[in-house]
Amino acid sequence: MQVYFDNAATTALDPEVIKVMVDVMDNNFGNPSSIHSHGRQVKTIVEKARKTIANLLHVSPAEIFFTSGGTEADNMAIVRSITDFGITHAITSPIEHHAVLHTLEELEKQGKVHLDLLHVDNKGNLDLNQLEELLSSNPRTFVSIMHANNEIGNLNDIQRISELCQQYNAIFHSDTVQTMGHYPHDLGHLKIDFITGAAHKFHGPKGVGFLYINANNKIKPLIYGGAQERNMRGGTENVYGIAGLAKALELAYEHMEEHQAYIQALKSYMIDELQKAIPDIDFNGVIEPSKSLYTVLNVSFPCSDLADMLLFNLDISGISCSGGSACSSGTDIGSHVLGAIKTNSDRPSVRFSFCKNNTKEEVDFVVSTLKELCTKNK
């Protein structure tokens, strides 16, 4: 059996998304910046996609800007906000995705901003009292807190964070890459300055994403060289990807409740089966459904002899999963998230992440394989 439990890294393209993309590839090859009929046809596709996304998020199409993915969108929001608004103080957490953490750290190295990291407990919960203290003593701060952690799955209370940022006149950016397409984002009610999305996290294509910029914020481009995206991002648009992104998000919203219930049930089932099969396991992060991303489960196993080989052995058995963030897989550097929450480093940790295509039979196979591996190495 082949099992893919690494959906937080990327998801398979939905067949309906493929159909939309192939149709555009077959019938619309013009450059959307061209004023002739071929160009206008393609421009219409781009603007229709923008409107689809805007309607789902309850914002204006003028607030949606297409990018190459979540990392570019995060960089654009962070770098341009700090530079264009003259911000000298920023707040984030030590368990943010590196697209955020490394960008802010680099800006601090350059002397452009002073960076404060929020305290985090051993379950990955952020100290929002500290956030308020920092905001109250540092007016006009840039805050970047992700909606859900990509490694341990913790959901952050971005509604509360948004209210604090409003109260203290701070700029609030949230990396919503892991929750976009999995939770509703009503930006008509959530007061936020920037959010990001990447199509391949919700069964769309790789290499395309978007940045929402609240209309009250006027920033300059991160990438110059053309008038595309209303002069906000130079470069010919990835039209096929943009069409696929819009279709994938549309499908995700259409089936969100049923997919959420199905995937949460799979995750809960795996938690129960793992506890029965390997009693001495630990779960990294919060696993309560109301506080945890239903697509992610991070587990530490009591087989320290397998610390360097567990993922390899799972792969040999036909099981694809991750030891942490896929964006840093293949390196010898340990997970900064698990390090920040002080997980037992002697135990191997594995991130399992699920989607609508997974089954209970796959969970049973994975649990059985893990039990065998851990029993062998006691």
DSSP codes of every residue in 180-242: BTTB---TTTS--SEEEEEGGGTTS-TT-EEEEE-TT-----SS-SS-HHHHTS-S---HHHH
Domain co-membership, 73 together with 192: yes
**Least confident piece of the model among 96-110, 112-126, 263-277, 290-304:** 290-304
Domain co-membership, 61 together with 193: yes
Average pLDDT over residues 318-345: 74
The count of structural domains within the chain is 2
245-287 pLDDT per residue, tens: 999 999 999 999 999 999 999 999 999 999 999 989 999 999 9
Cα 173 to Cα 170: distance, rounded to the nearest angstrom: 10
Domain co-membership, 204 together with 303: no
Tokens 């390997």 — which residue? 278
Query: Is residue 41 pLDDT above 90, yes or no?
Result: yes
- Among candidate residues 165, 321, 327, 374, the one labeled active-site is 327
Domain co-membership, 26 together with 170: yes
Strand order of the sheet with strand 282-284? 282-284, 296-300, 349-353
- Show the tokens assigned to 15: 């067949």
Domain extent at residue 27:
15-254
Distance of CA 76 to the CA centre of its chain: 16
Domain co-membership, 244 together with 306: no
pLDDT at 232: 97
Confidence bin at 326 (pLDDT 50/70/90):
very low
Domain co-membership, 265 together with 177: no
Confidence bin at 307 (pLDDT 50/70/90):
low
- Which CATH number characterizes residue 324's domain? 3.90.1150.10
Domain co-membership, 59 together with 95: yes
Domain co-membership, 146 together with 25: yes
Q: Of the candidates 205, 237, 254, which is a domain's last residue?
A: 254
Domain co-membership, 358 together with 221: no
DSSP 3-state of 280 = coil
Paired residues of 65 in beta bridges: 211
Query: Is residue 28 pLDDT above 70, yes or no?
Result: yes
Domain co-membership, 264 together with 230: no
pTM of the model: 0.95
Confidence bin at 139 (pLDDT 50/70/90):
confident
- Would residue 374 show up in a list of annotated catalytic residues for this protein? no
Q: Of the candidates 254, 273, 297, which is a domain's last residue?
A: 254
pLDDT at 285: 96
Count of CB atoms within 10 A of residue 119's CB?
A: 13
